[in-house]
């Protein structure tokens, strides 16, 4: 009963939030509604008994990813209205047909796969976090380490790409310094 | 209606995936396109967690963790590239990125 109420409430909220993200013409509304939608999605994880996944969702998405996007938006002109693309309707029809086909497949799949057996079954009296730890550090150790290396590569590439000239602040420089810096930048690009 | 089954979660996941697809199709601004890809990845995560719960198998949750890791690194690299592109051209519209056009 309460599970159903919670499910429908959060389903409505996530769909509404993500619709705002996709349809609004204001970049700030898109960012904030995306952050709200991420938090509402973590509610589904808690409903499904995946406590650790829900905590990770909140920490990673609303903590790290949203902060990164907010930081990135400071670089861009977010106050102007966004222009939308008017692509050919053939692509739109094709992709919406694909989405409809996907719904049908999703309806059929649980019927077709009724005799699936669990590879790593859950246990009754063990907490979710403990179980995740046991599986992650035994069966999925190599993918875990590879993911760690991938995150390290992403971090270094982020620093190298975005961190150029971060030590120079435009507000603390005089006009001549900015002028000469821009001219040297143009030469470097050309 | 009152009992939430696996199908409910999978249909919700499909709905969110369709919303993300709409975003990918209609957005011209590259930052908004990144938002839409985040929605796509999250909808898949819901499906993974739901299947993991209803089949009593932890593999789905493991895959969801790796999807989150990939999403985080995608954002870091993508935003870095986006900032460089914005510094050079003062513009992050997709239509302006035609320097490779023959």
Condensed to tens digits (0 to 9), the pLDDT of residues A76-85 reads 766 666 666 5
Q: Name the A residues in 6-25 with CB < 8 Å from any B CB.
A: 7, 11, 14-15, 18-19, 21-23
Instruction: Tell me how close the Cα of A175 comes to any Cα of chain B, in angstroms.
Output: 19
For chain B, what is the mean pLDDT? 86
Residue B6 confidence (pLDDT) above 90? no
Condensed to tens digits (0 to 9), the pLDDT of residues A170-185 reads 666 777 777 887 787 7
User: What CATH number is given for A1-79+126-136 in this structure?
Assistant: 1.20.120.1200
* Residue A133 CA, distance from chain mean position: 23
Q: Rounded CA gap, A127 and A116, in Å?
A: 23
Residue B92 has phi, psi (to 5 degrees) of -125, 30
Mean pLDDT of A26-38: 89
Q: Which residue has the tokens 């050309």?
A: A190
Helices (H), chain A: 2-23, 27-47, 51-57, 66-73, 89-112, 128-136, 141-162, 175-189
Domain parsing of chain A, residue ranges: 1-79+126-136, 141-167
Residue A50 confidence (pLDDT) above 70? yes
Domain parsing of chain B, residue ranges: 8-90
Instruction: Tell me how close the Cα of A167 comes to any Cα of chain B, in angstroms.
Output: 16
Q: Name the A residues in 108-167 with CB < 8 Å from any B CB.
A: 109-110, 116, 118-122, 131-132, 135-136, 140, 143, 147, 150-151, 153-155, 157-158, 160-162, 164
Mean pLDDT of B71-89: 85
Mean pLDDT of A33-37: 92
C-alpha R_g of chain A: 23
Topology given in CATH for the domain delimited by B8-90: Helix Hairpins (1.10.287)
**What tokens appear for B17 in the block?**
């995936």
A58 touches chain B (CB under 8 A): no
Give the pLDDT band (50/70/90) at residue B100: confident
Residue B27 has phi, psi (to 5 degrees) of -80, 140
């Amino acid at each position: 009963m309460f599970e159903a109420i919670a499910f429908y409430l959060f389903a409505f909220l996530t769909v509404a939030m993500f619709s705002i993200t996709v349809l609004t013409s204001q970049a700030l509304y898109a960012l904030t509604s995306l952050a709200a939608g991420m938090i509402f999605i973590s509610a589904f994880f808690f409903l499904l008994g995946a406590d650790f996944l829900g905590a990770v969702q909140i920490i990673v998405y609303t903590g790290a990813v949203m902060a990164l996007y907010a930081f990135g938006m400071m670089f861009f002109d977010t106050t102007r209205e966004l222009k939308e693309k008017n692509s050919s309707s053939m692509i739109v029809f094709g992709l919406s047909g694909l989405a409809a086909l996907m719904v049908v497949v999703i309806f059929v799949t649980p019927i077709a796969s009724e005799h699936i057996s669990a590879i790593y079954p859950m246990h009754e009296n063990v907490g979710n976090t403990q179980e995740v730890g046991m599986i992650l550090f035994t069966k999925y150790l190599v993918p875990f380490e590879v993911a760690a290396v991938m995150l390290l590569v992403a971090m270094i590439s982020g620093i190298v790409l975005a961190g150029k000239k971060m030590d120079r602040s435009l507000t603390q420089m005089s006009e001549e310094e900015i002028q000469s810096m821009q001219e040297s930048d143009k030469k470097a690009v050309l | 209606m009152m009992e939430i089954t696996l199908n409910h979660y999978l249909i919700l996941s499909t709905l969110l995936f369709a919303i993300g697809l709409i975003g990918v199709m209609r957005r011209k601004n590259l930052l908004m396109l990144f938002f839409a890809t985040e929605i796509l990845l999250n909808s898949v995560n819901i499906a993974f967690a739901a299947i993991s719960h209803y089949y009593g198998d932890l593999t789905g949750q493991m895959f969801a963790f790796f999807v989150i890791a990939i999403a985080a690194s995608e954002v870091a690299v993508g935003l870095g590239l986006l900032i460089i592109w914005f510094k050079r051209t003062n513009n992050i519209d997709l239509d302006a990125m035609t320097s490779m056009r023959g």
